[in-house]
Amino acid sequence: MKKIYIINLAVVLIVLLTACEGIFSGYQHQMQLEIVADHVDQNQLEKTKEVIQKRLRKLGGNNIEILGKNKKLTVNYEIGGDSILVWQSFQMVGKLEFFKVHSSKNELFTHLETTFKPRMKDTLVDSNNATKITTIEVFDYIGMTPAPTEDYIFGYVAAENKLRVASLLVDKEPVFIPSIGKKIKFLFGKKTNGTFPVYALVVASENKAPLDGSYVVNAAARETHFQGNYVVSFQLNDEGALIWEQLTEDAYQTRSNIAIVIDGLVYSAPFVTSGPISGGRSEISGSFTQSEATILASVIHSGALPKVKISEMKSIQ
């Protein structure tokens, strides 16, 4: 009788464990997404699904299922890490671009004086002094402080002046400067010590970056020898590696920096110190935390995502 009871108990336990496995092996998280665009064709939809898959896998997700045939998608997935990272990752489009930094400032100062001098005449108390406008006054009018030592940084902007500088300089189309024969685009960098650096970047004739994230085949977060400090390493395909080698060779010959830009923000602008970089492998540094580096790696690895809006995130069984 005791044997029969033990056997029956074992059977019940097996059934319960099997049922529990069925419950807990299902999807743990669900995300409702909407693609923010007037029209999305089938190719764009499939590309979006592919990027979502890559981004979630890079964050440790698995058993990913994406449902939906139009702009509204339901994403079911399991993830062992922090689901907050998923939300933060999907706040980024992930457009990666590389630009050469224009560090010779004299031509840029001349451009600013020519552009803003007529407007400044109205702001000066004594209009007779309009012909004596200095670079410092131009910067003061814009709301920027000249970079004191760093040649590759054009200037610094306090948080309260950021919107003004954006409207006057950063949000504008690239401008052609005849004296250097190049188009220049101004972009903000990451906030540092309460201010935003401004970079002057050289763009191609068609207003594009010479190299972008479409050539990236892999990216990963890596801890440096400084404890708690992370970088993001990335690998380019063969074509991208060749462009990267040419870009870094040009930067080395002209003693320039290369700006690494994600979603219109300069994350770092390293100086090329030892000649062209071959092989297509490099890294982005910027005193990142592990979470920041993990998010950036997922974004860079997956490629650019159309702008999406998360309407709901929840845990399910």
248 neighbors 286 (Cβ within 8 angstroms): no
* Mean pLDDT value of segment 102-131: 72
Give yes or no: residues 216 and 293 share one domain.
yes
Q: What is the pLDDT of residue 19?
A: 40
Using pLDDT thresholds of 50, 70 and 90, give the confidence band for residue 123: low
Give yes or no: residues 252 and 231 share one domain.
yes
Q: Which residue has the higher pLDDT, 125 or 167?
A: 167
Does position 22 have pLDDT exceeding 60, yes or no? Answer: no
**3-class SS at 11?**
helix
Give the Cα-Cα-Cα angle 34, 38, 43 (nearest 5 degrees).
Answer: 75
Q: Which residue has the higher pLDDT, 207 or 118?
A: 207
Centre a 10 Å sphere on the Cβ of residue 180 and count the other Cβ atoms it contains. 15
- Round to whole Å and give the CA distance between 312 and 317: 16
Read off the pLDDT of residues 29-67 as tens digits, 9 standing for 90 and up.
Answer: 999 999 888 788 888 889 999 999 999 999 999 999 999
Domain boundary among 174, 203, 232: 203
* Mean pLDDT value of segment 164-183: 92
Give yes or no: residues 155 and 240 share one domain.
no
Q: By residue range, what is the domain housing residue 67?
A: 27-93+305-315
Domain boundary among 177, 203, 229: 203
With CA atoms as reference, report the closest residue to 212 among 254, 271, 262.
262
Give yes or no: residues 192 and 214 share one domain.
no
Give yes or no: residues 172 and 233 share one domain.
no
What is the domain-level CATH number for residue 288? 3.30.1360.200
Q: What is the pLDDT of residue 113?
A: 84
Q: What is the pLDDT of residue 27?
A: 56
In total, how many domains does the chain have? Answer: 3
Read off the pLDDT of residues 274-317 as tens digits, 9 standing for 90 and up.
Answer: 889 999 998 888 778 899 999 999 999 999 998 889 999 988 76
Phi first, then psi: give them for residue 81, nearest 5 degrees. -90, -160
Token pair for residue 6?
């033990």
Q: What is the pLDDT of residue 76?
A: 93
Answer yes or no: is 214 within a domain: yes
Answer yes or no: is 4 within a domain: no
**Which of 87-101, 123-137, 138-152, 207-221 has the weakest average pLDDT?**
123-137
* Mean pLDDT value of segment 15-32: 55
Answer yes or no: is 195 within a domain: yes
Using pLDDT thresholds of 50, 70 and 90, give the confidence band for residue 233: very high
**3-class SS at 284?**
strand
Place of tokens 């490629």: 303
Answer yes or no: is 22 within a domain: no
- Round to whole Å and give the CA distance between 183 and 171: 15
Using pLDDT thresholds of 50, 70 and 90, give the confidence band for residue 133: low
Beta strands per DSSP E along the chain: 29-35, 61-67, 72-79, 96-101, 145-146, 155-158, 175-177, 182-188, 195-203, 211-212, 216-223, 230-236, 258-262, 265-268, 281-288, 308-315
- pLDDT, the chain, mean: 84
Does position 14 have pLDDT exceeding 80, yes or no? Answer: no
Using pLDDT thresholds of 50, 70 and 90, give the confidence band for residue 114: confident
Q: What is the pLDDT of residue 228?
A: 76
Phi-psi sector, 82: left (phi>0), alpha (psi -120 to 50), beta: beta
Does position 18 have pLDDT exceeding 60, yes or no? Answer: no
What whole-number percentage of the chain has pLDDT above 90?
50
* Mean pLDDT value of segment 256-279: 91
Give yes or no: residues 309 and 278 share one domain.
no
Give yes or no: residues 310 and 280 share one domain.
no
Give yes or no: residues 191 and 222 share one domain.
no
What is the domain-level CATH number for residue 53? 3.30.70.3400
Does position 156 have pLDDT exceeding 90, yes or no? Answer: yes
Answer yes or no: is 53 within a domain: yes
Give yes or no: residues 194 and 230 share one domain.
no
Answer yes or no: is 250 within a domain: yes
Q: What is the pLDDT of residue 316?
A: 78
Domain boundary among 173, 203, 233: 203
Give yes or no: residues 234 and 266 share one domain.
yes
Read off the pLDDT of residues 196-205 as tens digits, 9 standing for 90 and up.
Answer: 999 999 998 7
CA 195 to chain centroid: 19
Answer yes or no: is 5 within a domain: no
Give the Cα-Cα-Cα angle 272, 290, 192 (nearest 5 degrees).
Answer: 60
- Round to whole Å and give the CA distance between 151 and 169: 19
Using pLDDT thresholds of 50, 70 and 90, give the confidence band for residue 122: low
Answer yes or no: is 21 within a domain: no
Element (H, E) at 44: helix 42-58
Q: What is the pLDDT of residue 235?
A: 95
Give yes or no: residues 183 and 213 share one domain.
no
Give yes or no: residues 309 and 297 share one domain.
no
* Mean pLDDT value of segment 139-154: 87
